[in-house]
Amino acid sequence: MENVGALALLLAFCISLYSIIASVVGRLKGKPFLTLSGERAVLAVWALVSTAAGILVYGLMTSDYRMAYVASHTNRDMPSFYKFAAWWGGQEGSLLFWSWLLSTYAAVAVLTSRKTHRNLLPWVVAILSTIQLFFLNFNAFIASPFQVLAVDKVVTSVADGMGLNPLLQYWAMVIHPPMLYLGYVGFAVPFAFAMASLIEKAPGESWIHTTRRWSIVTWLFQGMGIALGSAWAYHVLGWGGYWMWDPVENASLLPWLAATAFLHSVMMQEKKGMMKVWNMVLIASTFFLCIFGTFLTRSGIVSSVHAFAESPIGKYFVAFLALGIAATVWLILDRLNYLRSESDLESVVSRESSFLFNNLVLLASCFAVLWGTLFPVITEKLSNEKISLDAVWFNRLMVPIGLFLLFLTGVGPLFAWRRTSIDSLRKNFQWPGIGTLITAAALFAGGMRYPYSIISLSLCFFVTATIVLEFFRGANAISEKTQSGFIPAVIELTHRNTRRYGGYLVHMGMVLMFIGWSGHPFNETSVGEVAKGSTMKVGAYNLKVLDLTEGELSNYTWETAKLEVTKNGEFLEIVEPTRRFYKAAQQATAVVALRSRLNEDLYINYAARAGDKATLQAYVFPLVEWIWIGVVVLIGGTLVCLVPSKVARTYTRTEVVGVAKENAPVEV
């Protein structure tokens, strides 16, 4: 079986190579049959990689402990769900997972655009196959998932595998990696289309239209992956944090930031024909940051709390990145003429300029995070001292940047294109502006003394007000015209221009997350050693220890504290924070007692036991729940963006460069 899998990967490697050659030669020599065979080769690669993946998954599910990968990532007691998830649990498997996702994306790209993009497709195929080849090189030769265990060259099996760390046996942790991978891998497709249109000097923005859905879906996956990781940290690790600027976290944030900038600036190109070079740079940066992220998490060049199999694959990534970036830069420089802007910036107070600043700030923050993450590597190279920057540095920098972005979220969509008149400024911003100042004053009068929280919450009010006003004005106009109710009018409005109103919903999701983050300075902590009958306080809560018990189950022992929670003398509930110790793994995990409410979370972790006393960590985290609500709203808004608009509007604008066309229809 495993020989078949290894053979499939080897064949896939050869066919990918063929696909690159056939596509490029076929296109250059004008041989349609050759390019067609290149496209079919992509499908063949998908079939082969799927076969290999199927064999690995079969091995995992049936506990075939002759296979090294299966033995080191699963054990017999594991639920099938986790056995399946072991596919991406380790180095070899996750690289195969990467390959498989890429081949799937490539196959879908070929199937969906072979009718519409005949001239671009050979290049798209060639670029995707090159990336595929790079990963298949790992799968087939360097980190094969099909290695078997052997003693003196005789294949043997072990009785039971080593299993998965119990800390990771949590639903969010199982879907967190595939979500991130779907994001990481997915940006390859828009990148391939962008480069293909550069190579072909294709007129218009067809690559943007074609890949708009790809980019949005991929961006969504990436965002969900990040959010799931943070939710896992919060709910499972027992310290109540959701983000600590660890290099691995940063690696996932970087492409997301670049992609966010890209999603905004393509609108400039579609509507005004501006920022063409910039968009090429952004999509290329996003893609290379994805590869860089994969490299960072696997090569071990920076130390992280996240452990990954460290292996010599780093140098391949460095080579791939260097060649890829060099080729992209050369291509963009060579085609600068083709990327000339069609219009000019006119005013600082305009939609264009708000996009420009949004992009600038997103990219600056991306660069700052990259700099901070690589700081130990840079200082080691320069001065032979490895110096790291901690979370304090990142927060000092990223909090103001985040607030500025939040501000732009409020003002940007309301500025008019080209320039904004004083009248329209007044109409759009008078009431939200006054309301914002009142909010800030009220927060200050209410005793809030943290400037960032005051600014953040006031800006949240501001952005919410502008978004609500937009919906209200639009829906009012519709409901007057059609005599329908307000709610149907809102739905109608959104359906007419899903991209715009879905976008507002995404912004609203971000606002809710900012509300959650604003609660951070008000966190309260209390650590205490308590015995049965004693009490401890955290914030307004009083925790009375009713009982301390312990016990043993087949795979773990547990200790728990039974606590009576009262707030201001009023009984709320009984909670039982627990600590488990998994015997096989020799690993303790916390089962945190969490009481989530919209205003605050009460979070209790059973940390340790000493004699008849237990160490409890109790926290009050105000507003944290809003972060997760914001994520849900953001996902909903993104899905709305993906629904086709009911009214397909066309903007006319003159094409300056490319094949002569008077008016290019632009789908909005």
Partner 1 sequence: MRKYAKFGILIALIVGSITWVATASIQSSKTYYVTITELNQMGHQASSKRVRVGGDVQENSIVRTAGVVKFNLVQETKVLSVVYEGRDPLPDTFKDGAQALAGGRLDDSGVFHAQEVQAKCASKYAPKPGMAPDGLQKKITTEGQSSSYRSSL
Binding mask 443-482 for partner 1 (x = CB under 8 A): ----------------------------------------
Instruction: Output 123 or 619, the one with its CB closest to partner 1.
Output: 619
Distance (Å, whole) CA 426 – CA 424: 5
Pick the piece of the chain touching partner 1 (CB under 8 A) from 4-12, 318-326, 446-454, 480-488.
Answer: 4-12
- Which residue from 438, 527, 540, 656 is in contact with partner 1, where contact means CB under 8 A? 527
Nearest CA to 252 among 204, 214, 203, 294?
294
Q: Segment 200-239, which members bind partner 1 (CB under 8 A)?
A: 237-239
Among 28, 31, 81, 141, which residue sits at the site for partner 1 (rule: CB under 8 A)?
Answer: 141
User: Do 200 and 164 contact (CB within 8 A), yes or no?
Assistant: no
Q: Does 345 bind partner 1 (CB under 8 A)?
A: yes
- Three-state secondary structure call for residue 193: helix
Instruction: Return the structure tokens found at 86.
Output: 């072991």
Please state, in angstroms and rounded to a whole number, the distance separating the CA atoms of residues 130 and 19.
9
Closer residue to partner 1 (CB): 541 or 619: 619
CB 359, CB 262: distance < 8 Å: no
| Residues numbered 602-621 forming contacts with partner 1, rule: CB under 8 A | 607-608, 610, 615, 617
Give the footprint of partner 1 on residues 621-660 (CB under 8 A).
Answer: none
Can you tell me which of 388, 476, 497, 555 binds partner 1, judged by CB under 8 A?
A: 388
Only segment of 191-199, 396-404, 486-494, 633-641 that touches partner 1 (CB under 8 A): 396-404
- Cα separation of 439 and 455, whole Å? 9
CA distance 497 to 483: 20
| CA–CA separation, 187 and 218 (whole Å) | 7
Footprint on residues 305-344 left by partner 1 (CB under 8 A): 305-308
CB of 108 to partner 1, least distance (A): 29
- Give the three-state DSSP class for 508: helix
Count the neighbouring beta carbons within 10 Å of the beta carbon of residue 396. 10
Q: What minimum distance in Å lies between the beta carbon of 1 and partner 1?
A: 10
Q: Is 392 exposed, middle or buried (0-12, 13-18, 19+ CB in 10 A)?
A: exposed
One of 47, 57, 149, 442 touching partner 1 (CB under 8 A): 149
Separation CA 235–CA 473 (nearest Å) = 41
Task: Give the binding range for partner 1 (CB under 8 A) out of 254-262, 350-358, 421-429, 562-570.
Answer: 350-358
* Closer Cβ to partner 1, 3 or 421, answer by number: 3
User: Quick one: 360 or 598, whose CB is closer to partner 1?
Assistant: 360
Closest contact distance (angstroms) between CB of 21 and partner 1 is 23
Distance (Å, rounded) from C-alpha 548 to C-alpha 415? 61
Tell me which residue has tokens 């596919």.
87
Q: How far is the CB of 504 from partner 1 (least distance, A)?
A: 25
Give the end-to-end CA distance of the chain in Å, rounded to a whole number: 51
Task: Give whichever of 332 and 408 is closer to partner 1, judged by the CB atom.
Answer: 408
C-alpha distances in Å from residue 248, one per residue of 119, 295, 513: 39, 10, 21
Question: Would you say 487 or 531 has its CB closer to partner 1?
Answer: 531
Q: Binding partner 1 by CB under 8 A: which of 33, 152, 382, 447?
A: 152
Q: Which residue among 322, 336, 387, 648 contacts partner 1 (CB under 8 A)?
A: 387
Q: Site for partner 1 (CB under 8 A): which residue of 33, 151, 312, 483?
A: 151
Binding residues for partner 1 restricted to 363-382, rule: CB under 8 A: 364-365, 368, 371-372, 376
Residue list 36-95, contact with partner 1 (CB under 8 A): 68, 71-73, 89-90
Applying CB under 8 A, does 150 fall inside the site for partner 1? Answer: yes
- Token representation of residue 67: 């296979």
The single residue among 180, 261, 356, 443 that binds partner 1, judged by CB under 8 A, is 356
Does 421 contact partner 1 by CB under 8 A?
no
Which residue's entry shows tokens 């260097």?
322
Interaction residues for partner 1, span 545-604 (CB under 8 A) = 585-590
- Which of 216/588 has CB closer to partner 1? 588
Residue whose CB is less far from partner 1, 155 or 468: 155
In this structure, the number of other CB atoms found within 10 A of the CB of residue 477 comes to 12
Identify the CA nearest to 206 among candidates 580, 658, 646, 662.
Answer: 658
If binding means CB under 8 A, how many residues of this protein chain bind partner 1?
80
Minimum gap (Å) between residue 224 Cβ and partner 1:
20
Query: 87 in the Ramachandran plot: left (φ > 0), alpha (ψ -120 to 50) or beta?
Result: alpha
Any residues with CB less than 8 A from the CB of 219 and at least 6 apart, and which?
Answer: 183, 256, 259, 260, 263, 638
Binding part of the chain for partner 1, among 161-169, 194-202, 457-465, 653-661 by CB under 8 A, reads 161-169
Structure tokens at 220: 């969504």
Interacting residue with partner 1 among 346, 480, 547, 573 (CB under 8 A): 346
Token pair 């690159």: residue: 20
Pair of tokens at residue 373: 């993450």
For 369, left (φ over 0), alpha (ψ -120 to 50), or beta? alpha
Output 428 or 589, the one with its CB closest to partner 1. 589
Q: How far is the CB of 70 from partner 1 (least distance, A)?
A: 11
**Interaction with partner 1 in 280-309: which residues (CB under 8 A)?**
303, 305-308
